[in-house]
Amino acid sequence: METRRHKHLVLILAREFASNLATPTLIADDRGKLVFYNEAAEEVVGRPFAEAGEISLQEWSESFDPRTESGPAPTERFTTQIALHERRAAHDRYHIISADGVERDVSVTALPLFAHADEFVGIMAIFWRE
């Protein structure tokens, strides 16, 4: 049985911040688990966060079959994966198929979240329809 981890204060504050934004935003923890996306993101994603739940960010991202101008986007080049594994900001544009079946073009900017210079706690990504 997996022990439940407490969320870092930075993630709690990021979630509070995101919940007050009209910009689609998601939050994932340091292990790549999606912990929240806001109501504005629900419109782009095509389903509420309550239905998606806390799943792997990679699994969540792959479910949209993201493509770039050059073709299918490799998982390791997703902006969220770059922020998670390389601990740096990344931006790209994708053509996706949302959970509601609607095709959309979106831009995504993801950035790592640090509690201290050497304490990585997760990522935040903002995205919007093109």
Q: What is the pTM of this model?
A: 0.89
Does 76 reside within a domain? yes
- Note down the domain range covering 93: 9-129
Q: What is the CATH number of the domain that holds 51?
A: 3.30.450.20
Q: How far is residue 122's CA from residue 102's CA, in Å, rounded to a whole number? A: 29
DSSP annotation of 113: E
Does 2 reside within a domain? no
Does 3 reside within a domain? no
Total domains in the fold of the chain: 1
Does 53 reside within a domain? yes
DSSP codes, 7-54:
PPHHHHHHHHHHHT-SS-EEEEETTSBEEEE-HHHHHHHTS-HHHH-S
Residues near 2 by Cβ (< 8 Å), separated by ≥ 6? none
Tens-binned pLDDT, residue by residue, of the chain (130 aa): 455 567 889 999 999 999 999 999 999 999 999 999 999 999 898 999 998 888 898 888 888 989 988 888 888 899 999 999 999 999 999 999 998 899 999 999 999 999 999 999 999 999 988 8
